[in-house]
Chains A and B, each alone.
Chain A
Amino acid sequence: GESVGLHLPTLSVQEGDNSIINCAYSNSASDYFIWYKQESGKGPQFIIDIRSNMDKRQGQRVTVLLNKTVKHLSLQIAATQPGDSAVYFCAEIFYNQGGKLIFGQGTELSVKP
């Protein structure tokens, strides 16, 4: 079935530390995964994406890793800052269903100064 879920609902880190947010998915046929950041009162904001034929993709301070063998996705944030505090969602695109995005439940990241 269609299911994208997150391992941990909350994550608290010290400013300057690295953060790792995990996500498990169940549909091995998906083509694309996206990480979104949602701050309070705002809509989800695109962070980084990765195609299913890739294992790793890096952005500015963020890295996404995809392990298709165990259907696991992770978002690594380097040198976490207070502005990174938000809820992070992984999402999966179903191209065979009009490109709809299925979201996981979300992990709330809290950065302590």
Chain B
Amino acid sequence: DSGVTQTPKHLITATGQRVTLRCSPRSGDLSVYWYQQSLDQGLQFLIHYYNGEERAKGNILERFSAQQFPDLHSELNLSSLELGDSALYFCASSVGGTSGYTFGSGTRLTVV
């Protein structure tokens, strides 16, 4: 157990739907990062939150959004889902922006 908890582990949904992925960082970690991993794209950085504030954005689609709550857990919202959104979604946490990144075990999203 890495200490980073992601739920759900698996999600199957239809095109056009909206889903929410949840991430609880390790105790004491203020930063949460979201990554998308698909077979043809590798691990792609989506977005970073630090203590509730957005710090950096990567290749995140407008249909996707995220937030970090006062208790530091984060949610990634994916809407108007398309088949191409099927992927593994990982979150990672760290105290700050250092090497201490710890990844969760991911949420596997399948859009049918």
A89 touches B43 (CB 8 A): yes
Chain A positions 86-113 with a Cβ under 8 Å from a chain B Cβ: 89, 91, 93, 95, 97-106
A18 at the interface (CB under 8 A from B): no
Shortest CB–CB separation between residue A75 and chain B, in angstroms? 15
A101 to B104, CA, bound (A): 15
CB pair A99 B43 closer than 8 Å: no
- Cα A42 to Cα B92 in complex, Å, equals 13
Q: Is the CB of B48 within 8 A of A100?
A: yes
Query: Chain A contact residues: over half helix, strand or loop, or mixed?
Result: strand
B96 CB to nearest A CB, Å: 7
Q: Which of B41-93 contact A (CB under 8 A)?
A: 42-45, 48, 50, 55-56, 58, 90, 92
Name B's interface SS: strand
Given contacts A43-B2, A105-B42, A106-B42, contact A99 B94 (CB under 8 A): yes
B97:A46 contact, CB within 8 angstroms: no
How many Å from the CB of A2 to the closest CB on chain B?
9
User: Are A93 and B99 in contact, with the CB atoms below 8 A?
Assistant: yes
Q: How far is the CB of B92 from chain A (nearest CB, A)?
A: 7
Are A43 and B103 in touch, CB under 8 angstroms? yes
Q: Which residues of A contact B101 (CB under 8 A)?
A: 34, 46, 101
A46: B residues at CB distance < 8 A:
99-102
**A98 lies within 8 A of B55 (CB):** yes
